[in-house]
Amino acid sequence: MPREQQLVVSPKFMLSFHRAVEKDFSAVNQLIVDQLQSDVGLVENIGQYIVESGGKRLRPVVVLLSALANSYAGDKHIKLAAVIEFIHTATLLHDDVVDVSTLRRGRVTANAQWGNAPSVLVGDFIYSRAFQILVEIGDLAIMGLMADATNVISEGEVQQLANAGNAEVSEDIYLQVIYRKTAKLFEAAAEAGAVLTGGDRAAMASYGKHLGMAFQIADDVLDYLGDVALIGKNVGDDLAEGKMTMPLIYARDNGDSAQRLLIAETINNRSAESFAEILSLVQGSGGIDYSMDCARQEALLAKQALNDLPESTFKTQLVDLADFSVSRLN
């Protein structure tokens, strides 16, 4: 990316919570562009490709809203939001290599475009850039929070990999994995805003955790019901990757022996060839409805965690963000 070029980065759809922090959100996007600059051409090419792919950037928005809802008046939340997005982006690059994914945010994945090795190495570059920015922020509490979060996320990635192809994964194990792999970064993003202000870290962490759980459960439902044009990835990817997610776990636990055998064979073979049959089974068992109810309960818990936070536009948008996490299911 030429140094004189300024890439305008914004989500494909500006939502109310983006607009509430529009100026700060724009500053985060510009910082992301600036920090992805490198003398190594391949780093810039892949970095620019990722940035241009957009996404709603919900995690940095959580940082901004959390800080402002806790009456933060400085500017460290801008850098902190970029750190969160970099950690997320690095995990996506690594994820897509591990999962052999070909579509992300409606575009061909970086690994499909450039190969696995460049994707992993640029992911490492982005991770390292995140921690360089953390040093600039210079807050040991935040450094500790981010270090713990990346460690937990890494454990979740390994745990999910170990579980791939295992049709016996329980709902408890599934919830443990999605907490580590997805909800932990939302939790850290929300808690970080409170760290900046000396606010209620536990309440904000609880908000972020339940928001992330709601988001991931909804995402797993959309893997069965979603539209590629809307969700930006191939429907049925979880089956093809041998992942037992909540809708399928419920169908297995409430199915007959023939249905359990079909699920086991599909997961063990890591194939989406039986997707239509599995979808019918999942819907017929009530697995979709059960999972949607669980996602909505997590969103409710996220909103309840904000009860003691003073009323403000930013608190309202945190509530709206929790509603949004499950509104995609409607």
- At 47-82, the pLDDT tens digits run 778 777 767 889 999 999 999 999 999 999 999 999
Q: Residue 81's Cα: distance from chain center in Å? A: 14
- At 87-105, the pLDDT tens digits run 998 888 877 777 666 666 6
Confidence band, pLDDT 50/70/90 cuts, at residue 2: very low
- Beta-bridge partners for 107: 104
Whole-angstrom distance, CA of residue 142 vs CA of residue 6: 29
- At 172-229, the pLDDT tens digits run 999 999 999 999 999 999 999 999 999 999 999 999 999 999 999 999 999 888 665 5
What are the structure tokens assigned to 71, written together?
């009456």
Confidence band, pLDDT 50/70/90 cuts, at residue 10: very low
DSSP annotation string for 253-286: HTS-HHHHHHHHHHHHHT--TTHHHHHHHHHHHT
Q: What pLDDT, on a 0 to 100 scale, did the predictor assign at position 241?
A: 87
Helical packing angle, 140-163 and 116-137, nearest 10°: 160
Confidence band, pLDDT 50/70/90 cuts, at residue 9: very low
Whole-angstrom distance, CA of residue 279 vs CA of residue 180: 27
- At 307-328, the pLDDT tens digits run 999 999 999 999 999 999 998 7
Q: Tell me which of 46-55, 147-156, 276-285 is least confident.
A: 46-55
pLDDT at 6 over 90: no
Buried b / exposed e along 232-252 (16+ C-beta atoms within 10 A): bbbbbbbbbbbbbbbbbbbbb
- Quote the CATH superfamily of domain 16-318: Farnesyl Diphosphate Synthase (1.10.600.10)
